Amino acid sequence: MAIALYARKSIERENSISCETQIEYCKSAIKPDERSEKTIEFIDNGYSGGNVDRDGFQKMMRQIERGKIGKVIVYRLDRISRSLSDFVGILETLKKHNVQFVSSQESFDTSSPYGEMIVKILMVFAEFERKSIIERVKHAYAYRSEMGLYMGGRRPYGFNLKD
């Protein structure tokens, strides 16, 4: 069976890690006795972790359900999902198909009840972080709008933008 290497990045930012770099970290988490196994890269560049409607992710899950993948490696847990309910479903699917789940940057073992609990706790924080980011962006837009700053998009017909 193959090893899936999964990377996701929401948007381009200077301080965030690229999908290519995430894949390199994933490769470093492959054990020496697994180096001869086939690896398949699944990449979702420009997709939110708030849902599972991502091309690369869906392709990976189909391969898992077909029994083609025995292990999934991600850079960090929040790269696969930032939704606790989605993650619990993903974890159940992985368990059903006997697929190991590994994060190259976080140590946990989902095969034990304790490890599964730790992963779910980490997901609560990932979901909280996502919701906090959304709130901060909303507040920033509202504040900028109240100040009369241009918020992007098309300008209404007949109106000029302030400099």
Asked whether the predicted pLDDT for residue 12 surpasses 90, the reply is no
Determine the Cα angle at 90 with ends 95 and 79, to 5°.
120
Share of the chain above pLDDT 90, in %: 39
Nearest to 5 by CA among 21, 119, 110, 17: 21
How far apart are the C-alpha atoms of 69 and 85, rounded to whole Å? 23
Asked whether the predicted pLDDT for residue 132 surpasses 60, the reply is yes
- Global confidence as pTM: 0.72
Mean of the pLDDT values across residues 124-138?
82
Residue 45 φ then ψ, to 5°: -95, 120
Tokens of 34: 């697994």
pLDDT, the chain, mean:
86
Mean of the pLDDT values across residues 57-67?
97
Mind listing the pLDDT tens digit for each residue in 101-113? 888 888 776 767 7
